[in-house]
Amino acid sequence: MEANWITKQVTKYIVINEKLSCEAFGCLYKGFYKDDETKLIAVKMVKIAVTLSQARPSRCLVKIQSFLNCLNKKLQSFKKSIIQILQE
């Protein structure tokens, strides 16, 4: 999450920008129930990666086309090798 927030409401919970711990798959924040501040909770926030196709569709298409061109060259080379073998 952003570093400049103080609290955020998530459904019936209030999350405080106070990290309890951080691990490989996200950070654990302190929070409490919206209706009862005496009931403390811990909230794990996990970053969600954006796929390349969502971020830059045109870049994704360029990579696919490049891959297909490379594959086509390899297939042409393979075809020539097979023809040579058959002709021998």
pTM: 0.50
Answer whether residue 1 shows pLDDT above 80: no
pLDDT above 90 covers what percent of the chain? 30
Rg (CA), the chain: 27
Is 37 found in the same domain as 15? yes
What range defines the domain where residue 26 resides?
A: 7-45
Query: Is residue 80 assigned to a domain?
Result: yes
* Cα dihedral 53/54/55/57 (nearest 10): 40
Q: If pLDDT is split at 50, 70 and 90, which confidence band does 49 have?
A: low
* Domains of the chain: total: 2
What's the confidence (pLDDT) of residue 53?
A: 54
Q: Which pLDDT score is estimated for 52?
A: 54
Asked whether residue 15 falls in the same domain as residue 41, the answer is: yes
Indicate whether 34 and 57 sit together in one domain: no
- What integer pLDDT is reported at residue 20 of this predicted model? 92
Shared-domain flag, residues 36 and 63: no
The verdict on residue 41 lying in a domain is: yes
51-63 average pLDDT score = 65
